Amino acid sequence: MNILEIDAGNTRIKWRLIEYKKQQKKKIHSGDALAQNLIDELPQDFCRQLLELTNKNIKKISVSNVRDVGFANALSSFCEKHFSVSVNFALVSSEHAGLTNAYQNFETLGVDRWLAMLAAWDSAKSAICIVDCGSAITIDLISAEGQHEGGYIVPGLQTMQRSLGDQTVNLTYQPESISNLEPGKNTVDAINHGVLNMVLGMLEKVDQKRRTDKAVDRSWYLCGGDAATLSKFIKWEHEVKPELVMDGLVIACVYSEDGDQVK
């Protein structure tokens, strides 16, 4: 059974086509597109990529959507028209697959965070810290018993960089790869290295519990567009899992071998 999985984020829309057979998945194709701020329509590049999949015998479409209802409605209409398949939008729950949500109003937790946690918990089955490095950086902690312990949300690297670049007089901000943490000798480097040090300081504070309390030894997973940038400077053991949110879709949207969703 071929399943199209879509991670519709604030900055980019990522997708992959997987073959799901005997509870095993194999990626066949993947892609991504800029998530433009359109009302009730989809980005053209994203539509073009999806149209190239119309002959791939897609049976199910599962989506993580943090965008607005207009995007959801447009995607549903597009998929029903071109694939004759109804879209299954993943939802947050209070408990699933051995993971318990810390939020009292569990529906208010971002679905991308929930899916990343489901995938991380399924992989580690131990205490975990999940860092999603996108337009916002989210940090979520899970106990060894599968209890979500809450998390943090701070502006992402590029969000902070753009904010300073937009507000600084006579500065045209040009994104550059960050190669070190030393004080910048020009304004762009000063911004880049400064915001990276701020985020790393936050992560080091979270990791301090592991270093001071040997009873809490967390596995660390990084995902999101800036995960590779942060990974270069994180000194403790961790894994970069670029598709962690989509990995969670398989867990949240369980299917039988005939393609029916298991309730």
**258: in domain:** no
Question: Same domain, yes or no, for 105 and 208?
Answer: yes
> Average pLDDT, whole number, for the chain?
89
Residue 259: pLDDT band (50, 70, 90) is very low
Question: Same domain, yes or no, for 129 and 233?
Answer: yes
pLDDT at residue 188 tops 90: no
CA distance 1 to 86: 15
Question: Same domain, yes or no, for 116 and 215?
Answer: yes
**257: in domain:** no
More confident residue, 89 or 180: 89
Question: Same domain, yes or no, for 14 and 114?
Answer: no
**190: in domain:** yes
CATH code (residue 14): 3.30.420.40
**251: in domain:** no
Question: Same domain, yes or no, for 112 and 237?
Answer: yes
pLDDT tens-digit profile of 101-117?
999 999 999 999 999 99
Segment 59-83 shows an average pLDDT of 96
Residue type, 191: I
Q: Is 213 a catalytic residue?
A: no
Closest residue by Cα to residue 142 from 218, 207, 212, 248 = 218
Question: Same domain, yes or no, for 35 and 139?
Answer: no
Cβ of 182: how many Cβ atoms within 10 Å? 9
Is 81 in a helix, a strand, or coil?
Answer: helix
Question: What total number of domains does the chain contain?
Answer: 2
Amino acid 114: pLDDT:
98
**221: in domain:** yes
Is residue 10 within 8 Å of 67, Cβ to Cβ? yes
Instruction: Tell me the residue range of the domain where 46 lies.
Output: 2-89
Residue in 112, 132, 140, 226 annotated catalytic: 112
Residue 170: pLDDT band (50, 70, 90) is low
pLDDT at residue 31 tops 70: yes
